Chains A and B, each alone.
Chain A
Amino acid sequence: MVFGDDADQGTLVLDNVSLEVRDGEFVTVVGPSGCGKSTLLNLLSGLIAPASGTLYLDGKEVIGASKNYGYMLQRDLLLDWRTILRNVTLGLEVRGVPGPKARALAAKYLQFYGLGGYEHKYPSELSGGMRQRAALARTMILDPNILLLDEPFVALDFQTKLILESELAMSVAAGHRSVLFITHDVEEAVSLSDRVVVMSKRPGRIKAVHQINLDCDRTDPVSARNAPKFGEYVTTIWQQLEIQTSTLDMQGLKSMRLANELSA
């Protein structure tokens, strides 16, 4: 697929990206910031149209992923004016599920995701981790067979992130869902995925694809991180990302400090 604005030259964002997610597969795309990861996801969800290229679902050409895909972003997008329960029933209401039935199901999901007792709170009363967990419940209640996730856990602290990663992995495994996960966090990518796709700087191209075999319980992000081959994958992918650790001039810093000491 190619995405770019022809009228405005030099904004080619994605160049010749070809990506396939198999049934029940967890694929993660990692890449430096600005490489077009989010653009890729928006193309797949049908929110924007590619300049050229096509999208296939179950062998059929489609415009967006489908009417049944789960969509989670860095922001939880909980609606301020709805209680947590009514945020979770949102998708069911869209589909015309009768109110009492939708609420009963939502209450069950909230219980499962550890939000029992928070049904009638408003989003502004919850912490960031709880809000994102409510967003996960809102996504999973629709039983999507495709999940498009754009850095959903990036704003959370490390512990909450691990817990939510694990909850996501369990939800995915239980429902046999296909996942396209976008992140810049290499460890997160390796611990969760069947396959990791590495993208280059803008215009985004696919640089490498890694099949991940960790031989451990993949719903436990801690045991995945302790798997023997984990470090190896992470190191290789880091190298391929070619992230410069620092552009600061060490010698320059030292001489500045010296000047400070002299003037003091």
Chain B
Amino acid sequence: MSDEPVGETPAGRGVHFDRAAAADPGAAATLSVRGRKPRAQQQARARAVRVLLTQLALVVAFLGVWEYGVTTGVINAFLFGSPSGIWTFLVKGIRDGSIFHDMLVTSEETLLGFILGNAIGATVGLALWYSPFFERVFSPFILALGSIPIIALAPLVIVWAGTDLTSKVLMSTLSVVVVALLAAFEGARNTDPLEINLLYSMGATKRQVFRMVVVPSSLTYIFSGLKLTVGFALIGAIIGEFVSSSEGLGHAIFIAGNLYNIPKVFASLLATIAIALVFVTVVGRIEKLLLPWRKLTT
């Protein structure tokens, strides 16, 4: 900040200055208050590294005990598989591309179901705010639909929509839509009534109130719905594949399970987890992009 030469440190400038200077000679000429920031950042980084190392150690320990148990015969490799067996199948799947193919198929079903389910759910959920009459009419049906275990619908969906992509997308959509709807409706209902009054005091119409206050203030709820429904979309797609399909991770798990190919089941499970992680990360990025004011309050 100043052009005072590094190292010529006047005495009595405060503890923070000296510590910062010791840790980072480049910061020597900055004021004591500024010296605190890099220190705090360093501490945060050190903490993050510690957390990551501990997590890695846990995974390594878990896999190590598992592998050791299998080699000594304490753990039945036929029933539980082994980390090295899983690794073999992962490498094989990656080499011949089969695992990528299955991941792509399941991702496509999940993505379509996720988008459709959330689009329909959020639209209907917000629209229910608009008409208290329809809210009363529909709420028991919505609750009824929400209480159906999604797997029970699979046979019907297969009969109606066939065994290809459509039925999986439909399964995925169905398992997402009610949660998305409830999240959006809850968001709309929790709009601050005083903010609504403020808009009316400016002469706004109900449509303007809806567009300018209700929808934006529901966005935080809708985004928590999005994060929640990533898992549901995946469950729907996989159940669809379980019931009837010729490809996808659900299909791979189903076949491998029936053949007692436990390592392949685990390898496919890992691929499923990878899909979920990618989805959640992408949703988080989009949230940061669309709701820039959120990062300021948390």
Residues of A within 8 A of B (CB): 45, 47, 67-71, 73, 75, 77, 79-81, 90-91, 93-95, 122, 124-125, 142
Contacts and interface: CB of A to CB of B under 8 A. Distances in A.
B215 to A, nearest CB: 10
Contacts of B203: 67-68, 94-95
B202 A90 contact: yes
Given A67-B203, A68-B203, A77-B195, A122 B217 contact: no
Considering the complex of A and B, which 6 residue pairs feature the smallest CB-CB distances, nearest first? A71-B201, A67-B203, A91-B202, A122-B293, A94-B204, A94-B202
B194 A79 contact: no
B150 to A, nearest CB: 34
Contact of A79 (B200, B201, B216, B296): B216
26 contacts: A45-B197, A45-B201, A47-B200, A67-B203, A68-B203, A69-B201, A75-B194, A77-B194, A77-B195, A79-B195, A79-B212, A80-B217, A80-B293, A80-B297, A81-B293, A90-B199, A90-B202, A91-B202, A93-B212, A94-B199, A94-B202, A94-B203, A94-B212, A122-B292, A122-B293, A124-B297
B22 interface: no
B256 interface: no
Nearest to A75: B194
Contacts of A75: 194
B291 interface: yes
Nearest to A69: B201
Contacts of B197: 45, 47, 71
B44 interface: no
A79 B293 CA distance: 10
B213 interface: yes
**Interface residue range, chain B:** 20 to 34
B199 to A, nearest CB: 7
Given A73-B194, A75-B194, A95-B203, A81 B217 contact: yes
B291 A71 contact: no
Nearest to B193: A47
Contacts of B88: none
Nearest to A123: B293
B208 interface: yes
- With most chain B CB atoms within 10 A of its CB, the pick from A68, A75, A81, A90 is A81
Nearest to A83: B293
Given A73-B194, A75-B194, A124-B293, A90 B212 contact: yes
Contacts of B217: 79-81
Nearest to A42: B197
B213 to A, nearest CB: 7
Given A122-B293, A124-B296, A81 B202 contact: no
A79 B292 CA distance: 13
A79 B202 contact: no
A47 B194 CA distance: 10
B219 interface: yes
Interface string B220-254: 00000000000000000000000000000000000
Contact of A95 (B198, B202, B291, B296): B202
Contacts of B216: 79, 81
A142 B197 CA distance: 16
A142 B204 CA distance: 13
A55 to B, nearest CB: 15
Nearest to B216: A81
Contact of A81 (B198, B200, B208, B219): B219
A69 B203 CA distance: 9
Contacts of B297: 80, 124
Nearest to B199: A94
B219 A122 contact: no
B187 to A, nearest CB: 12
Contact of B213 (A79, A91, A125): A79
A95 B204 CA distance: 8
Nearest to A68: B203
B287 to A, nearest CB: 13
Nearest to A77: B198
Nearest to B195: A77
Contacts of A70: 201
A94 B212 CA distance: 9
Nearest to B209: A94
